[in-house]
Structure 1
């Protein structure tokens, strides 16, 4: 009996020692395999999981002597997932006089509007054409017109908004038209409200719909939208929105027209009644509150009518207006270089409260299951005081004698030359459309 107990204890002791050695050597083998096979994989993970806070810290770090995150190294980083790991809107402008920029020439785009054709109207400098946007710590696909056209076969892209969205729409048309063979049709409809560019052989439509405040307003007629008082029907959107629902990609904007002290909310309900009637009843409201209500109307429409499993939905962020560069510093007139101190520069005309309202509206829409992507071009346009049309454009109203003597007073510091800055917005937009 005692002998059997002793043998049992010996067997148990041997089992414990054997188990110890198995786990020990097995652990060493596993660790060795992991280290050998994941050295390169670990490096890739570091490269693609940079967060916004990390990239901002990298951008602002001037104390390090290492070149790990300098410009040359950053350009060689493999492009990362647009969806998860790369903030395309945090970065800096880099001068690039290679053949890549500009993406097209003015004379290559015969339908380029006179409003944006700066060189045609006398602009002599050209460095403003040679800047590209470089995100911190990552990259986005280089523009390839032929590849984009192939992937857009059978789709309708529709830009909806104000003249800044028309600026971007015209940029997209100019970027793609030389890469589209075959018959191309261009024209307007709905009394100039809808503009269409269509590639017949590829069944591609790139359209623009004039709706500067998204909801109905007395500025909805493009040829007659300059009014001292701005009247809107804050809940009326269905009549115009019926022209939007068949698009495969919808790109909205609305910001600049709301930068007023106040907006008049018409109490007339029917779309048939005129918003130009001086005797109409209205309620005056501060612009911030009215902007919030208008975006709420738009978001309710998007929730009810946009199936984001079939239609991609985007909203363009506010673009900078360099009407005042700073105290006693004038405006955008005569500027030929961007501000390179891009992490701290913020032009005075951008309303942060309005930006917060827009972001909050889009976040609520997302929380309700509507996938809408903000193309946040606000910061990257802050620095491009050199990219505006200024006086190099066609004026639809004769300049006054005072404006002729002081051209800076006539400078357009809202719209952008083409080719130019809006081409970058479209490169970023296409990165999301085609991801």
Structure 2
């Protein structure tokens, strides 16, 4: 019994399709898989016309890409599998640095917000291999940073970076990546070395600020005219940022290195002790417990002031970032490595591990305290280990322009603490974005 064309109004025989149906499916399935492998479906992009829903959550919709947008993230998973995976928490701590031929989103010679000392490219650093690595977590995929996605998630919001120079380093990394999609306008600057600044992205009504507060709590920094030590009051936050909490929607805290300096600590109006206070009649108590008190006071204050508010707040704490000095700080090869450490090659131990442990424990305690408030979310940006594995990412002698223009000097100052821009610190903001993106997906 033959089969005539349905174009002529004839119907198929019922027996033949059932007979050949399995063979048809076996033929189509490999073709479909082949198509998806080489041409995976793109993830939904965030529309620049998205609006806030009544409960103040971002609503994601599909939109056409901007001419400034970075390449879309693609996946071979189905949409349902992808959403289910992104609702599962990701451990960004464990993983490895893998070579990435795509390189950074921005060029250090053209980004106008980089602090001079971290602009390694313009200062003549001759090697560029440090730019071509990406962090690959062991248990999940970390998408490439998409500036449009970030700006849409922070639409109509105020993001504040609060802390020491590492907070500023992370802020400038973020601004450089966002500037590839939308140019920010500097709307406020104050303080020595522009320690208090604010930018506005008119395209999304997004405001990003930086507050210099190296202890998070109230402190008096040592100076040439005053005592040769810092003074910290561990039971009160620094009101230079605390006083603005009513106008902040997302806050990123970052401290650590300043606690290594000589200091006298106060609590409850009396001296608690000191660190490296030679010649002073105070008890030496180190700095770990004091740093713990500072983080605890900051999180407690944020929770008390913002927990009951209508819009709440998202709170991040960037964990301690290790330095990589090898030998003396003023030798040409103070941080000479040009490649990342491999997994297992460098252990997280000593002070680096202790500083991180304090922050992990206090953030967990902060989460418990904030559970009574439905509009507070807290998360640790745990970057200590992945940063420890990047000894190649610091300015080193290139904190100054062309340090070897006249030959190798016997003494040359090195920066093995801060990070070149672009550089490994861009990954911190990559994780930052992935956390808030997952929050948005989960809230839907």
TM-score (norm 2): 0.68
Question: Cα deviation per residue 1:34-93 (whole Å; 9 max; x = unaligned)?
Answer: xxxxxxxxxxxxxxxxxxxxxxxxxxxxxxxxxxxxxxxxx9677664553421222100
> Superposed, which structure 2 residues align to 1:87-236 within 5 Å?
87-98=91-102, 101-180=103-182, 184-189=185-190, 192-219=194-221, 228-236=228-236
Residue 303 (structure 1) shift: 2.2
Structure 1 residue runs without a partner (length 5+): 1-74, 271-278
Q: Determine which of 365, 368, 373 is the counterpart of 2:379.
A: 373
Q: Do structure 1's residue 427 and structure 2's residue 430 form an aligned pair?
A: yes
CA distance in 2, matches of 1:428, 1:227: 40
- Check conservation: 1:229, 1:263, Cα contact below 8 A: yes
Where 2:418 maps in the other structure, the secondary structure is strand
CA distance in 2, matches of 1:82, 1:330: 45
CA distance in 1, matches of 2:185, 2:220: 33
In structure 2, relative to structure 1, the CA distance for the partners of 1:280 and 1:202 (3 Å cut) is farther
CA distance in 1, matches of 2:167, 2:353: 20
1:363 aligns with: 364
- Check conservation: 2:109, 2:121, Cα contact below 8 A: no
Residue 339 (structure 1) shift: 0.9
In structure 2, relative to structure 1, the CA distance for the partners of 1:292 and 1:419 (3 Å cut) is same
Where 2:285 maps in the other structure, the secondary structure is strand
Residue 208 (structure 1) shift: 0.8
Residue 243 (structure 1) shift: 2.3
Q: Do structure 1's residue 417 and structure 2's residue 420 form an aligned pair?
A: yes
Question: Cα deviation per residue 1:320-374 (whole Å; 9 max; x = unaligned)?
Answer: 2111489xx996533211112x235126664323322222211111112253100
In structure 2, relative to structure 1, the CA distance for the partners of 1:267 and 1:430 (3 Å cut) is closer
Question: Cα deviation per residue 1:251-272 (whole Å; 9 max; x = unaligned)?
Answer: 0011111235x631247959xx
CA distance in 2, matches of 1:310, 1:168: 23
- Check conservation: 2:160, 2:210, Cα contact below 8 A: yes
Question: Cα deviation per residue 1:78-132 (whole Å; 9 max; x = unaligned)?
Answer: 766455342122210001113xx21111133122210210011110110100100
CA distance in 1, matches of 2:400, 2:245: 30
1:289 aligns with: 289
Residue 423 (structure 1) shift: 0.7
Where 1:312 maps in the other structure, the secondary structure is strand
In structure 2, relative to structure 1, the CA distance for the partners of 1:336 and 1:152 (3 Å cut) is same
Residue 285 (structure 1) shift: 3.3
2:411 aligns with: 406
- Check conservation: 2:222, 2:229, Cα contact below 8 A: no
- Check conservation: 2:235, 2:267, Cα contact below 8 A: no
Residue 167 (structure 1) shift: 0.4
Aligned length: 338
Q: Which has the larger radius of gyration?
A: 1
Q: CA RMSD in A?
A: 3.5
Q: Do structure 1's residue 312 and structure 2's residue 317 form an aligned pair?
A: no
2:398 aligns with: 392
In structure 2, relative to structure 1, the CA distance for the partners of 1:331 and 1:365 (3 Å cut) is farther
- Check conservation: 1:332, 1:385, Cα contact below 8 A: no
- Check conservation: 1:265, 1:285, Cα contact below 8 A: no
In structure 2, relative to structure 1, the CA distance for the partners of 1:207 and 1:227 (3 Å cut) is farther
- Check conservation: 2:109, 2:119, Cα contact below 8 A: no
1:343 aligns with: 344
- Check conservation: 2:322, 2:352, Cα contact below 8 A: no
- Check conservation: 1:324, 1:347, Cα contact below 8 A: no
- Check conservation: 1:245, 1:306, Cα contact below 8 A: yes
Residue 292 (structure 1) shift: 2.1
